[in-house]
Amino acid sequence: MANGTDTLSPVQRSELMSRVRSKDTKPEMRVRRMVHAMGYRYRLHHGKLPGRPDMVFPERRKIIFVHGCFWHRHEDCRRNRTPKSRREFWDAKLEKNRLRDLENQSKLRASGWDVLVVWECETEEAAGLPGRIMSFLEDH
Contacts of 82 (CB under 8 A, 6+ apart): 90, 91, 94
Contacts of 48 (CB under 8 A, 6+ apart): none
> Tens digit of pLDDT for each residue in 60-89?
999 999 999 988 989 989 888 877 888 898
> Tens digit of pLDDT for each residue in 17-60?
555 555 678 899 999 999 999 999 999 988 899 999 999 999 99
Whether the per-residue pLDDT at 96 is higher than 80: the answer is yes
Q: Place domain 23-138 in its CATH homologous superfamily.
A: VSR Endonuclease (3.40.960.10)
pLDDT of the residue at 1: 41
Q: What is the mean pLDDT of the chain?
A: 86
Q: How far apart are CA 20 and CA 36, in angstroms?
A: 25
Q: How far apart are CA 34 and CA 43, in angstroms?
A: 15
